[in-house]
Amino acid sequence: MSQAEQKRIAGRAALRYVENGMVVGVGTGSTVAHFIDALAERRHDIEGAVSSSEQSTRLLKERGIPVLDLNATGELALYVDGADECDGHKHLIKGGGGALTREKIIAAASRTFVCIIDPSKRVDVLGRFPLPIEVIPMARSYVAREIVKIGGQPVWRDGVVTDNGNWILDVHGLRITDPVALERELNQITGVVTVGLFARRPADIVLIGAEEMR
């Protein structure tokens, strides 16, 4: 089975967590795009969605799903999003698509975080996928030097500006054996907006797209 098909299966499987009247938090990426397609079939049952990116906002609106403001909705019952890596504790690396800050805000504001992935995302130890870190532009070089001190190799995602007007460093060479501690440490660096480690607030449920989920 192709990876695209595995993503489609995972995206559709998350629909079973959607209940009538809900406001659904919606992540970003190619797996989430399948979830949005499935959610469109339930658009008359739900109140709307809170979106984590301009990309997902466009997809949601194209499919007739109202996009709501998190400040107006308050706590969400459900957030559905993909990931770049997922370990056995449901700790994640996210931000390959550059939407990590809004994704992390919605995850924090949601009671249940359902993570939808294809099997290639499952790892024993996080860090093979370069860890995205969103930074204030003027702090890029300072943050990069601080990251080198703790053993990472930061690479500027040149040309990419996030939805929040910031820049991204992708940190290579980390073997993340204690994701909670590393997330805390990186969050302390001045100029860091968001670390793409979702360990202090991990996923609650992980759906891995596979044949038997059809």
Token pair belonging to 176 = 């993340």
Q: What is d(CA 89, CA 130) in angstroms, rounded to the nearest whole number?
A: 19
R_g of the chain computed on alpha carbons: 17
Q: What is d(CA 154, CA 170) in angstroms, rounded to the nearest whole number?
A: 5
Residue 194 binds ligand 5RP (CB under 6 A): no
Are the C-beta atoms of 46 and 24 separated by less than 8 Å?
Answer: yes
**Relative orientation angle of helices 54-62 and 30-40, to the nearest 10 degrees:** 30
Residue 99 binds ligand 5RP (CB under 6 A): yes
Chain Cα centroid distance, residue 187:
17
Q: Which stretch binds ligand 5RP (CB under 6 A): 59-67, 94-102, 149-157, 168-176?
A: 94-102
Q: Which stretch binds ligand 5RP (CB under 6 A): 91-99, 136-144, 145-153, 179-187?
A: 91-99
Are the C-beta atoms of 207 and 117 separated by less than 8 Å?
Answer: yes
Residue window 20-39: x/- pattern of binding to ligand 5RP, with contact defined by CB under 6 A: -------xxxxx--------
Closest contact distance (angstroms) between CB of 182 and ligand 5RP is 17
Closest contact distance (angstroms) between CB of 166 and ligand 5RP is 13
Residue 209 binds ligand 5RP (CB under 6 A): no
Which residues are at the interface with ligand 5RP (CB under 6 A)? 27-31, 81-84, 94-100, 103
